[in-house]
């Protein structure tokens, strides 16, 4: 028997959730779609940036910065052509059509989620191997990665990809794991860490921690 839950086939829905297209390669966005916080089709950038801002737990200027950063990434997510960027800016991002877009590494990098949106549990175990024992603010010890370990992990991913890695992959990665650390991280300052257990839940079960969902508006029913 496997030690961890196995994800359903790409494009299917888990119990109590909405289906998520395999053409949405972002685990955080997949969780938002699966749990009804946003649709998989056209999502206005104002709505998307507001939800990410809420999830971050930031307030005031900090939240505004998160929203602006989210908008700037989302406006090019479906394509870099002037017409596509204008359409994204005025209508929204199409989350079900992010695959093969400018931000897609085609299963490269961590390799946790491959190009068909299949979750590879052994790659989450590999992620854990870069972590360390971290003190949970609510009590106990768990395996996690601070910003330092995340940098080491991303560098190792680039090295493993070899010639398949593109020059811009390190730039894309800056908008992935470090951002997850900001949103899902526990603790403060240099001690802030990304829980491997929560990463596993995010990828495999498409669920966000309760402390994050408590910040979000009520989702649509599956």
Q: What is the pLDDT of residues 45-63, one digit of tens each?
A: 999 999 999 999 999 999 9
In Å, what is the CA distance from 153 to each residue of 28, 127, 130?
Answer: 19, 7, 6
pLDDT band at residue 154 under the 50/70/90 scheme? very high
Q: What is the pLDDT of residues 60-109, one digit of tens each?
A: 999 999 999 999 999 999 999 999 999 999 999 999 999 988 888 776 78
Query: Which ranges in the chain belong to alpha helices (H)?
Result: 27-34, 45-56, 60-74, 82-90, 121-129, 147-161, 169-174, 177-184, 196-200, 210-213
pLDDT score at 107: 65
- Residue boundaries of the structural domains of the chain: 27-213
Number of neighbouring beta carbons within 10 Å of residue 86 = 11
Q: What interhelical angle do 45-56 and 177-184 show, nearest 10?
A: 60
pLDDT score at 10: 52
pLDDT score at 170: 84
pLDDT score at 14: 80
pLDDT band at residue 5 under the 50/70/90 scheme? very low
**Is the entire prediction scored with pTM above 0.85?**
yes
Q: What is the pLDDT of residues 181-194, one digit of tens each?
A: 999 999 999 999 99
């Amino acid at each position: 028997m496997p030690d961890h839950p196995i994800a359903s086939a790409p494009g299917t829905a888990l119990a109590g959730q909405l289906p998520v297209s395999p053409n949405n390669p972002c685990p955080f966005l997949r969780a938002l779609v699966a749990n009804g916080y946003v649709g998989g089709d056209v999502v206005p950038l104002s709505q998307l940036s507001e939800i990410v801002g809420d999830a971050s737990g930031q307030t005031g200027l900090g939240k505004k910065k998160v929203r602006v950063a989210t908008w700037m990434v989302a406006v090019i997510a479906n394509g870099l052509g002037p017409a596509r960027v204008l359409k994204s800016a005025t209508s929204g991002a199409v989350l079900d059509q992010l695959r093969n877009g400018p931000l897609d590494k085609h299963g490269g990098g961590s390799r946790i989620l491959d190009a068909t949106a299949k979750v590879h549990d052994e790659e989450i175990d590999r992620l854990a191997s870069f972590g360390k024992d971290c003190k949970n603010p609510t009590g106990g010890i768990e395996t996690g990665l601070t910003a330092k370990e995340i940098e080491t992990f991303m560098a190792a991913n680039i090295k493993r990809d070899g010639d398949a890695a593109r020059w811009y992959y390190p730039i894309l990665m800056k908008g992935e794991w470090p951002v997850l650390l900001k949103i899902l991280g526990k603790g403060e300052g240099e001690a802030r860490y990304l829980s491997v257990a929560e990463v596993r839940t995010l990828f495999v079960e498409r669920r966000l921690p309760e402390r994050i969902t408590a910040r979000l508006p009520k989702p649509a029913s599956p």
